Amino acid sequence: MSRPPIPPFNRETAIQKVRLAEDGWNGRDPVQVALAYTIDSVWRNRAEFLSSRAAIEAFLARKWAKELNYRIVKELWAFRQSHRGSLCVRIPRRCGNWFRAYGNENWEFDPDGLMRRRVASINDASDCGNETDVLLADWAQTR
């Protein structure tokens, strides 16, 4: 199974890959989102470690059952033009009006464009105030 765009990425295809991931995550369908990862994909999400597509799907189902107003912004921070297709993504995220997160993810892809590794370092804070609203407004203008 191929998941374009595939590595090596240039700036345009790296941004496209990030936007496709963002759209998938905001669709909140764990089965569909998990299909973007290899069967043996390895994840670090904050303090949780996962190591299969099935574990990723279960994690996302659990996550989105709790985060009902989930909205994420994924923004390309850096990329490497190599056969491994490495991307680094910045994430401001909001769940309703009372919760926000900010962090980054490092992604590594297989030759078919499936993500084989995701390392996420994300910090959470309550009561997001105006800062997150500004980040989301800035993001909306780039779409």
pLDDT digits (tens, 9 = 90+) for 107-116: 999 999 999 9
Cα–Cα distance measured from residue 140 to residue 62, given in angstroms and rounded to the nearest whole number: 27
Radius of gyration of the chain, Cα coordinates, nearest whole angstrom: 15
Cα–Cα distance measured from residue 107 to residue 21, given in angstroms and rounded to the nearest whole number: 11
The tens digit of pLDDT for each residue in 88-98 reads 777 765 555 55
Cα–Cα distance measured from residue 114 to residue 43, given in angstroms and rounded to the nearest whole number: 13
- pTM reported for the whole predicted model: 0.81
For the chain, percent of residues with pLDDT exceeding 70: 78
The tens digit of pLDDT for each residue in 10-65 reads 999 999 999 999 999 999 999 999 999 999 999 999 889 999 999 999 999 999 99
